[in-house]
Amino acid sequence: MKFFVDTAEIDAIAELNDLGMVDGVTTNPSLILKSGRDILEVTKEICDLVDGPVSAEVVATEADDMIAEGRKLAKIAPNIAVKVPLTWAGLKTCKTLSDEGQMVNVTLCFSTNQAILAAKAGATFISPFIGRLDDINMDGMDLIADIRQVYDNYGFETEILAASIRTVNHVTDSARIGADVITAPPGVIKKLADHPLTDKGLDAFLSDWAKTGQKIL
Ligand code: E4P
């Protein structure tokens, strides 16, 4: 399973990247706003830091403008995945750019039918939003499972990028279902290491070690 980090904060990406936990990065207009950075500058810095795909999102709503924005974003670095919304204009942009050999991440996916359209348009990644479905009392994980089944039924090669991940359980469940990638905020990825029995066990070992009076270094 690949881990993408869902942020435009360079320090947070670098910290996890040093640990080998970053297979790619996703950004969106809200995350660019939060970073306070210029989209072209910060995206270039992220691409220089991380080897894997870095999603940068278009903001136009008409296909011609989206395609132009996507081509401009793609020039930032070879590892850019142009992110487009799941609209007909976004799908047209996906088809055009993927035919040109460009990685495309189709975002804001909330149904299996939308995911089928993205695969047929040649998307590299489809991003179903788990947390936002949970927010409206639907089960985001059901969508991941459904898309997994349908993609496998037909051999679609589009990778399922489980997005809008809010909890560590979303990560576990996505892994069980077989999502190809999860993208999560740095805080969620860091919480994956937490377990109270690990903390308790370590406290006990350190307390006993102190009683031995020994040193390793
Ligand atoms: C994914 O690519 C999106 O940037 C992100 O996962 C959205 O998450 P949110 O619903 O928590 O904003």
* Confidence at residue 178, expressed as pLDDT on a 0 to 100 scale: 98
Confidence of residue 123 (pLDDT cuts 50, 70, 90): very high
- Out of 83, 190, 191, 211, the active site residue is 83
Cβ of residue 26 lying under 6 Å from some atom of ligand 1: yes
Question: Which of 167, 163, 174, 173 lies closest to 189, judged by CA?
Answer: 167
Cβ–Cβ < 8 Å for 110, 133: yes
Three-class SS of 134-157: HHCCCCHHHHHHHHHHHHHHHCCC
Give the other-Cβ count within 10 Å of 90's Cβ. Answer: 26
Distance 128 CA to ligand 1 centre (A): 9
Q: Ligand 1 pocket test: pick from 3, 6, 105 the residue with the most ligand atoms within 8 Å of its Cβ.
A: 6
Q: Which CATH superfamily is domain 2-192 in?
A: Aldolase class I (3.20.20.70)
CA gap 139, 173 in Å, rounded: 12
Whether 215 is catalytic is: no
Going from N- to C-terminal start, the domains of the chain cover 2-192
| Residue 27 DSSP class | -
Helix (H), strand (E) at residue 167? none
pLDDT in tens, 161-200: 999 999 999 999 999 999 999 999 999 999 999 999 999 9
